[in-house]
């Protein structure tokens, strides 16, 4: 049971970022960091919250950079 749980956990941590990055305009590394950081910060719900929060922050930073670069 322990071996099965470890195998599922490891494959989930490796496959989830790959699958999420196919459907979102975010790099695989960013999704992986979001999943790992989300789990460490929020627990199991962090698997969902981590990549979403990281994507929102990246989009806000891109928006801020675009707005600041177009100012006279």
pLDDT digits (tens, 9 = 90+) for 1-41: 888 878 877 777 777 776 666 666 777 787 788 888 888 98
3-state secondary structure 21-66: HHHCCCCHHHHHHHHHHHHHHHHHHHHHHHHHHHHHHHHHHHHHHH
End-to-end Cα spacing for the chain: 63
SS3 71: coil
Query: Across the chain, which distance is largest between two alpha carbons, in Å?
Result: 63
Q: Which of 5-14, 41-50, 55-64 has the lowest mean pLDDT?
A: 5-14
Report pTM: 0.57
Position 70 scores a pLDDT of: 80
């Amino acid at each position: 049971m322990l071996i099965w749980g470890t195998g599922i956990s490891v494959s989930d941590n490796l496959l989830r970022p790959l699958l999420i990055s196919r459907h979102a305009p975010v790099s695989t590394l960013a999704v992986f960091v979001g999943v790992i950081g989300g789990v460490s910060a929020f627990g199991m719900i962090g698997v969902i919250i981590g990549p979403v929060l990281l994507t929102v922050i990246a989009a806000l930073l891109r928006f801020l950079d675009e707005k600041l670069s177009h100012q006279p």
